[in-house]
Structure 1
């Protein structure tokens, strides 16, 4: 694996059983970008489903991922898989700058904050605070901001999320997607 590389891990679960997988160990410079459940036979009760987890390598070094299978109503029967160790290698500048390739997540610059603020103008209900940013050069620039969302409700209810923003050449910044990060 190289810095900036995005990869997925999939697990199959039987629908209706209550079993789910979750990454329970994530060490090194690897980030969980998203998770989703895909029905293999939509509408069919009890059909198998795929849980897909998407990760990105952030920095060089050793990393580990471990998944656990569990039922939320039966936490005393958690089954831990083996730890998957791997090494993240440094990417060359040419690999990172390649058209269509995502950069690793890095600190948010003042210019990045301006793009984020412009795209979020008029957005209500949740205030997002950008922590890190990753960019992809296409016909324009795609941004992925790792944020913490603060919903406009009483109490402390922050959650991690990825806010995706696109800026066309010479155009305005606009939100293309907001994904809540589910751990």
Structure 2
């Protein structure tokens, strides 16, 4: 019977994750865990057993998108101007976060102390992926020393969360991100 239970648990996990992806896409990071359980045909306790926190669920839902962003960062690491490569990747991150409701919340720093059991794997993957791009831009003098990928992701999360209810969130988020990159002073 243990094999059957493991197979059931795997099926439940896959079903919960599929439903969660749809619910997060439709309702964002605040998607109801109870609704996810109901649609998946499992109890709330089963959802919580697989995903002990909302963040764990959001990270699982966002994992494929994060992998795609990591791949994109690797593609851009040795291409052209280091600042342009970094900004192209960050623009991709903004676009992904706007399109994939819940992704910004999965990347957000929640103020909790680092805990290896509940580490924010999405943020860790993004930092690992973006760090070579950032370091190259810093070495080229295109980005100030001391800037971290975590700083840049926090900026993006703020922009995306601030624009998610705008009539055109993608355009507004892109504009605000570019404004942050350019700064407030006119070029002279």
TM over 0.5: no
Q: Larger strand proportion, structure 1 or 2?
A: 1
**Relative contact order, CA 8 A, sep 6+: which one is greater?**
2
Q: Pick the TM interval, shorter chain.
A: under 0.3
TM-score of the aligned structures, taking structure 1 as reference length: 0.22
TM-score of the aligned structures, taking structure 2 as reference length: 0.21
